[in-house]
Amino acid sequence: MKAIVIGSGIAGLATANRLRAEGFDVQIFEANAYPGGKLTAFNQSGYRFDAGPSLFTMPHFLDDVFIACGRNPRDYYQYKRIGVTCNYFYEDGTQLTAYADREKLVKEVSVKLHVPENIIRNYLELSKTLYESAGRIFIEQPLQRWRTWLSKAVAKALLKIPKMGLFTSLNQFNEKHLQEPRLVQLFNRYATYNGSDPYQAPGILSTIPHLEFNVGTFLPEGGMHAITQALVHLAADQGISVIYDSPVDEIVVSDGKAIGVLSKGKRCEADVVISNMDVYFTWRHLLRNIPPPERTLNQERSSSALIFYWGVKRTFEELSLHNIFFSEDYRKEFEMLFQQKQVSDDPTIYINITSKYIASDAPAGCENWFVMINVPANDGQDWDGIITKARKNILTKLNRLLKVEVEHFIESESVLDPRSIELRTRSYKGALYGTSSNNRYAAFLRHANQSPRITNLYFCGGSVHPGGGIPLCLQSAKITADLVSKHFD
């Protein structure tokens, strides 16, 4: 059986590798000259930067791809657990170190935020319980198949609906269980892990902290791009053909069945077609003669990102791999982001510095700063004006909280905004996670992994179930590959 995968993002690569292990002859068509989608890297004036995703959690999801192919993951990539999950900086001068060691974290929160230790322990236990009982169903099963809802695991999970926070916002859930405003803000942040608003998104997103605090955060040797390189290496070892600079122009459909693709005027036939391209562009550009699922395609987009890649010619001991500088008015920041489609003058700032762990990522005595703020998806805003203003506001905030004129140490710079994200990755409007989760039914409304309209057409990646981010994209690949394998069994 022959399978064609459109796009070599990590979900496309993982799906292709899984299907090859099942005996499929697999070809990947990639529009760019390089693999990885958002998960790429580049060098700039002696500094190395991971261009996209910077957080690695649930490494066993990645390991599972190699194991499914009969390979040892450690032959392809190595990783380490990080001792400090993140450093947090608040406008009132509070600095909080989120240790990977849970008891150290509990004591840090208790001392710095004057919160009883049992508050944070109970919250993390609840996060774990909700993930194990309900979260795993949402991210490991195809929700659009009726058989999923007849399993015993799902029946047990449904009994816990009152505790899940499905009918309250994440902010309401966190205010109930955490109370202390700075701690609520810290855990509200996890809505941004799928590009959503904590004041609208459901409380079930409280499962996300479990992945970070109870399981841990990790860093691959060589940086995040090593994940892409490992999957490409596996594809080569399995004999998968990756065809670069080859955008697909059309998915060929005959009698309601996907039978191949057109690329550069050439028709390539296949028994199954899997699109790792954003579903919006898959339907609008590759399936032009077939009525698209308008309701699904018109859902609210997730947030996007504005990223400054700075080569900084000094080191900052108070910073670690992951760092957050919170806005003073978090609610206003998200109102600006999702309701006004604009950027707050006081945005929350995320800084990732891989040279803290990978010395070769920056010259001696220097650091590679990946500086990101959340911004709305592209709706025609004045991005050049936004970039200029945001850069000034970011530097003003960092200068104040770090007590140093940061701009004096920036010796190289490049910028990524929603326009260039859309151009490079075919993500509609530059949205990082496809649709937002600002709806309690968002998990059920995401595009399915299998087309209900076109036989032998499947989808994987961040714009379909179960969602965006590395762990969910890898789970998307697993769900999709399993559906294909069962269909052709």
In this predicted structure, the answer to whether residue 350 has a pLDDT above a threshold of 90 is: yes
The rounded mean pLDDT for the chain is 94
In this predicted structure, the answer to whether residue 428 has a pLDDT above a threshold of 80 is: yes
How does residue 167 score in pLDDT terms, banded at 50, 70 and 90?
confident
Whole-number Å distance between alpha carbons of 156 and 384: 51
Find where tokens 């490494």 sit: 59
Residue 283 tokens read as: 């339907």
* Of the candidates 68, 76, 82, 73, the residue with the CA atom closest to the CA atom of residue 24: 68
Find where tokens 């399981």 sit: 215
In this predicted structure, the answer to whether residue 289 has a pLDDT above a threshold of 90 is: no
Break the chain into its structural domains and give their ranges: 2-36+223-300+441-487
How does residue 138 score in pLDDT terms, banded at 50, 70 and 90?
confident
In this predicted structure, the answer to whether residue 341 has a pLDDT above a threshold of 80 is: yes
List beta partners, residue 324.
88, 350
**Each residue's pLDDT tens digit, 433-462:** 999 989 877 767 789 999 989 999 999 999
Give residues with Cβ within 8 angstroms of 472, minimum separation 6: 139, 194, 462, 466
In this predicted structure, the answer to whether residue 155 has a pLDDT above a threshold of 60 is: no
Q: What integer is the mean pLDDT of 79-87?
A: 96
**Each residue's pLDDT tens digit, 295-308:** 999 999 999 999 99
**Each residue's pLDDT tens digit, 61-77:** 999 999 999 999 999 99
Which strands form 257-263's sheet, in the order they lie side by side?
248-254, 257-263, 266-269
Whole-number Å distance between alpha carbons of 15 and 25: 12
pLDDT of residue 157: 61
pLDDT of residue 439: 84
How does residue 467 score in pLDDT terms, banded at 50, 70 and 90?
confident
How does residue 275 score in pLDDT terms, banded at 50, 70 and 90?
very high
How does residue 165 score in pLDDT terms, banded at 50, 70 and 90?
low
Residue 327 tokens read as: 């806005």
Phi, psi angle pair for 84, to nearest 5°: -115, 115
How does residue 145 score in pLDDT terms, banded at 50, 70 and 90?
low
Whole-number Å distance between alpha carbons of 357 and 290: 49
pLDDT of residue 144: 61
Q: What integer is the mean pLDDT of 120-149?
A: 77
Q: Do 48 and 223 meet the contact criterion of CB atoms below 8 Å apart?
A: yes
* Peptide bond just before 466 cis, omega within 30 deg: yes
* Of the candidates 221, 229, 220, the residue with the CA atom closest to the CA atom of residue 13: 229
Phi, psi angle pair for 306, to nearest 5°: -115, 120
How does residue 415 score in pLDDT terms, banded at 50, 70 and 90?
very high
CA distances, 120 to each of 98, 168, 188 (Å): 12, 20, 14
Whole-number Å distance between alpha carbons of 431 and 292: 20
Class of the 2-36+223-300+441-487 domain?
alpha beta
Residue, of 159 and 252, whose pLDDT is higher = 252
In this predicted structure, the answer to whether residue 169 has a pLDDT above a threshold of 90 is: yes
pLDDT of residue 288: 84
In this predicted structure, the answer to whether residue 36 has a pLDDT above a threshold of 90 is: yes
pLDDT of residue 151: 59
pLDDT of residue 136: 67
Amino acid at 18: R
Residue, of 489 and 474, whose pLDDT is higher = 474
How does residue 9 score in pLDDT terms, banded at 50, 70 and 90?
very high
Q: What integer is the mean pLDDT of 323-338?
A: 98
Q: Give residue 420's Cα distance to chain centre.
A: 17
CA distances, 330 to each of 198, 229, 336, 436 (Å): 9, 37, 10, 18
In this predicted structure, the answer to whether residue 52 has a pLDDT above a threshold of 80 is: yes
Max avg pLDDT among 235-239, 449-453, 461-465: 235-239
Q: What integer is the mean pLDDT of 398-406?
A: 97
Give residues with Cβ within 8 angstroms of 40, minimum separation 6: 34, 50, 51, 52, 225, 228
Phi, psi angle pair for 383, to nearest 5°: -70, -35
| pTM above threshold 0.85 | yes
pLDDT of residue 445: 79
Q: What integer is the mean pLDDT of 325-352?
A: 98
Residue, of 441 and 43, whose pLDDT is higher = 43
In this predicted structure, the answer to whether residue 81 has a pLDDT above a threshold of 90 is: yes
How many CB atoms within 10 Å of residue 301? 25
How does residue 154 score in pLDDT terms, banded at 50, 70 and 90?
low
How does residue 152 score in pLDDT terms, banded at 50, 70 and 90?
low
How many CB atoms within 10 Å of residue 468? 27
Q: Give residue 14's Cα distance to chain centre.
A: 15
Q: Do 11 and 478 meet the contact criterion of CB atoms below 8 Å apart?
A: no
Q: Is 448 exposed, middle or buried (0-12, 13-18, 19+ CB in 10 A)?
A: buried
